[in-house]
Amino acid sequence: MPPDATSPPSLHREHQVRPFRPALWLPGPHLQTVGGKFLRPRPALELTRTRLRTPDGDFLDLDLAPDPDTDGPVVLILHGLEGSTGRGYVRLAMHELARRGILAVGMNFRSCSGEPNLRPRFYHSGETGDLALVVRELQRRYPGRPLGALGFSLGGNVLLKYAGELGDDAPERLGALATISVPFDLTAGTRAIESGAMGRLYTHYFLRSLHRKTRAKEALLEDLLDLEKVLAARTLREYDDAATAPLHGFPGAQRYYQEASSARFLHRIRVPTLLLQATDDPFLPLEALPREAMDRNPHLLPALTAAGGHVGFVGGPGPWKPDFWAEAEAARYLARLLAP
């Protein structure tokens, strides 16, 4: 494709992702996934929290890492389901970005910053209004500085959907994107995460947190939801059917999954975007990977690995010295595109 107004920059087209060498002592997708969670370091960072008020009377908490270069790029980081800016993968990404002279800003989705949000709603995989608000705020605070974004899992799905919704207008907002372990197809992903013994373990982990947040907001939610049904949910689909869908304007979980899946928006993305994804991700079946959409859009740079699990990507000679490929590669790409 010859360079023109709609083609990605040469730095994107020529970028070479370094190979991922999975740790031999963590074989298989589940060990990579669980190992990634428990082995990731949390680099010490003095974060500054700032609260952004939303038009509907709620709030979003942003956590800012120290600014290594007041003229350098800014990268917004979006965490995964029931995560926060306190998670190891976010802190490690902040560290990797800072090493390259980039200011990292972590966005906590509603209810994820350690304090219940104020409205009778939470967040979900397709909620892009809050992201749009934060992007505009960062543009206001850091005029003239290149702005990019990095999304993990659910946060990556939100980011890709947002970029696709913007279409040709996206380059006015964001200069480059990177995602790690995106559940592109929420129907297939939900089905995958709930199958098998490990799937039940993952489901229990997420539902325990979701139920806790629901109980904390019973007074706000009791007139809108069948709380007994919500708290009795034993699968993510049951929870989404009983809580996520009705709270956010969907007739049911299936419609929510269809409308929120980022695979539907990949063809419209016009921002240079790196997609780091393991084909053995237990949260997304291989057949659900939108390979054709990835290959047909020159603004997308898919980096598919045979191993890595879900936000795992653990390498290194042993548990005493692990290394984490995905955060480093995402930061390297964003630094190259935003501050060549």
Beta strand 103-107 pairing with 176-180:
unpaired
pLDDT for 276 equals: 98
Residues shown for the chain: 340
CB burial readout 137-173, b (16+ within 10 A) else e: bbbeebeebbbbbbbbbbbbbbbbbbbbebeeebbeb
pLDDT digits (tens, 9 = 90+) for 296-322: 999 999 999 999 999 999 999 999 999
> From the centroid of its chain, how far is CA 153?
4
Which of 234, 232, 257 lies closest to 244, judged by CA? 257
Contact by Cβ (8 Å): 274, 177: yes
% of the chain residues with pLDDT over 70? 98
Is the sign of the CA dihedral 202, 203, 208, 211 positive or negative?
positive
Q: Is 168 a catalytic residue?
A: no
Going by pLDDT thresholds of 50, 70 and 90, the confidence category of residue 152 is very high
pLDDT for 4 equals: 41
Q: Would the pLDDT of 2 be above 60?
A: no
Q: Would the pLDDT of 142 be above 80?
A: yes
Which burial class, exposed, middle or buried, applies to 6 when counting CB atoms under 10 A from its CB (0-12, 13-18, 19+)? exposed
pLDDT digits (tens, 9 = 90+) for 86-141: 999 999 999 999 999 999 999 999 999 999 999 999 999 999 999 999 999 999 99
pLDDT digits (tens, 9 = 90+) for 26-78: 999 999 999 999 999 989 899 999 999 999 999 999 999 999 988 999 999 99
Which of 293, 258, 284 lies closest to 126, judged by CA? 258
Going by pLDDT thresholds of 50, 70 and 90, the confidence category of residue 150 is very high
Contact by Cβ (8 Å): 80, 93: no
Q: Of the listed 111, 125, 153, 262, which one is catalytic?
A: 153
Which of 169, 147, 156 lies closest to 339, judged by CA? 147
Q: Is 310 a catalytic residue?
A: yes
pLDDT for 7 equals: 80
Q: Would the pLDDT of 1 be above 80?
A: no
pLDDT for 3 equals: 37
Q: Of the listed 15, 79, 299, 310, which one is catalytic?
A: 310
Domain annotation for the chain: domains and CATH numbers: 10-185+261-338 (3.40.50.1820), 194-259 (no CATH)
Which phi and psi angles does 85 have, rounded to 5°?
Answer: -70, -5
pLDDT for 69 equals: 86
Average pLDDT of span 214-219? 95
What number of H helices and E strands is found in the chain? 14, 10
Contacts of 253 (CB under 8 A, 6+ apart): 190, 237, 240, 241, 244, 245
Q: Lowest mean pLDDT of 1-15, 201-215, 312-326, name the range.
A: 1-15
CB burial readout 66-78, b (16+ within 10 A) else e: ebeeeebbbbbbb
pLDDT for 195 equals: 86
Average pLDDT of span 156-167? 98
Tell me which residue has tokens 């949910």: 233
% of the chain residues with pLDDT over 90? 94
pLDDT for 194 equals: 86
pLDDT for 196 equals: 85
